Amino acid sequence: GPAGQSRQVRPWKFQGTEYRALACFPCRDKCALVPGVEPQGSPTSLCLGESLAAPSEHSVAAASLRPFPGAISSGAGGSSLQGVQCETAAKAGMIIQRVVLNSRPGKNGEPVAENFRLEQSTIPDTIQAGQVRVRTLYLSVDPYMRCRMNEDTGSDYLLPWQLAEVADGGGVGVVEESKYDSLAKGDVVTSFNWPWQTVAILDGSLLQKLVPQLVNGRLSYFLGAAGITGLTALLGIKEKGHVAVGANQTMVVSGAAGACGSLAGQIGRLEGCSRVVGIAGTDEKCSILVQEMGFDAAINYKKGNVAKQLRELCPGGVDVYFDNVGGDISDAVISQMNQNSHIILCGQISQYNKDVPYPPPLPPDIEKIRKERNITRERFLVLNYMDKQEASVLQLCQWIQEGKLKVRETVVEGLANIGAAFQSMMSGGNIGKQIVSVSK
């Protein structure tokens, strides 16, 4: 191919062993001489012509393949190729793509797409007893992942991602091969620790089999409305919101157009709230909340005075606050809350790029209001309520099938774009759940 273009070479056999190479060839006519291996101590070149010929005994001694000093290794497939790059020939496996943590933004930095790197790698051609090979369909990117980019997550239940190692999170895929008794080829499965790669070999016991009919075949919903996101909204309201039918309660949701907030407002209404007000960052989002998702009103926090608008839209005060944001917005809401009201502390996305504890302490004047009015503010972790998972997922799926729970997604195509999807989600670029579609 043209000079500098990446090119994949098919496997070849030499002295009974199969090899494959990945390299960047600066072509000279129909043949490229690629420095990159040192057979038994003396440098040579591997000649790969238009026919992709196998190496001969005169060019490569397969018994001792190692990087030649001065060759630029491509690792597992870097994001940019310069000059001649060569990967040492290795025993054949299945070639995949994966995304690793390339750099850390720092505890006070905003994440960018370049914090992640797309690589080419290999996985074994065969699987062991108890293992499953899965093809990734969808991956989830979520605000909680921001702390995993730090060396210390500040959490006792989340481990940090390691530099140059594959990232992971919620994922849905299909079984391509199984040596685990409970799963068969073609099964749709999910995991909370799905590696960010196109194909993976996983322990079958870590996978949960899904029923596509529950979500009318919309498999990505298992990462959102019918997954951890939906469970967080439903169980947060049930366990911490103290919502009661007929109690004439007003609920306010911050981050209301996001994955969890858009569901929480609807669920609050389904569970008995008489009035639901959302807070979002654009007029488009506010319009969707009211016109599509049944919110009574929505506030664009970037326009006007939030506290003033809350007083107008919640004349009877606020009884339940589903907090996804923290910061100044939450301070304004808490100031309007009634005696014995409840804060569902779901997330603090406005604080995730700051080196502060979670949950961050309230300003002294707001904390004084909270105490005087006996407002509960408790950290909520859905993983503490997994005994209620099955019944709750069935309830969510029933609402989806009945059209009572409207679902919005922002879908980005391709594993290569997962870093950009994460950056966009953290800056409010999504409406509903942010999903990365990896394969069909």
Cβ neighbours of residue 394 closer than 8 Å, sequence gap 6 or more: 214
Mean of pLDDT values over 46-70: 32
User: Is pLDDT of 258 > 80?
Assistant: yes
CATH of 95-224+409-437, one of 3.90.180.10, 3.40.50.970, 1.25.40.340, 3.40.50.450: 3.90.180.10
Whole-angstrom distance, CA of residue 33 vs CA of residue 84: 10
Q: Determine the length of the chain.
A: 440
Half-sphere exposure of 247 (CA within 13 A, CB side): 17
Using a pLDDT cut of 90, give the percent of the chain over it. 69
Q: pLDDT tens digits, residue range 130-186?
A: 999 999 999 999 988 998 999 888 777 889 999 999 999 999 999 999 999 999 999
The reported pLDDT for the residue numbered 122 is 96
Q: pLDDT tens digits, residue range 120-144?
A: 999 999 999 999 999 999 999 998 8
Q: pLDDT tens digits, residue range 314-372?
A: 999 999 999 998 899 999 999 999 999 999 998 654 444 444 455 788 999 999 999 99
Phi first, then psi: what are they for 56, rounded to 5°? -100, 170
The reported pLDDT for the residue numbered 232 is 94
**pTM for the whole thing?**
0.76
Tell which residue, 232, 265, 237, 268, has the closest CA to residue 386. Answer: 232
The reported pLDDT for the residue numbered 380 is 80
User: Can you give the three-state secondary structure of 43-92, one letter per residue?
Assistant: CCEEEEECCCCCCCCCCCCHHHCCECCCCECCCCCCCCCCCCEECCCEEC
Q: Which two tokens stand for residue 125?
A: 């051609």
The reported pLDDT for the residue numbered 386 is 87
| Beta strands 199-203; 188-195: pairing state | unpaired
Q: Which residues pair with 169 in a beta bridge?
A: 194
Whole-angstrom distance, CA of residue 28 vs CA of residue 244: 76
| Beta strands 297-300; 318-323: pairing state | unpaired
Helix/strand/coil for 135: strand
Instruction: Name the more confident of 77 and 124.
Output: 124
Q: Which two tokens stand for residue 248?
A: 């004439």
Give just the sign of the alpha carbon dihedral 13, 16, 21, 27: negative
User: Is pLDDT of 241 > 80?
Assistant: yes
Other CB atoms closer than 10 Å to residue 178's CB: what's the count? Answer: 21
User: Is pLDDT of 56 > 80?
Assistant: no
Q: Which residues of 80-117 are buried (b: 16+ CB within 10 A; e: fewer)?
A: eeeebbbbbbeebeebbbbbbbbeebebeeebebebbb
Mean of pLDDT values over 204-229: 97
The reported pLDDT for the residue numbered 83 is 30
Written as one letter, the residue type at 216 is N
CATH of 228-383, one of 3.90.1150.10, 3.40.366.30, 3.40.50.720, 3.40.220.10: 3.40.50.720
Range(s) for CATH 3.90.180.10 in the chain? 95-224+409-437
User: Is pLDDT of 26 > 50?
Assistant: no
User: Is pLDDT of 102 > 70?
Assistant: yes
Range(s) for CATH 3.40.50.720 in the chain? 228-383
The reported pLDDT for the residue numbered 45 is 34
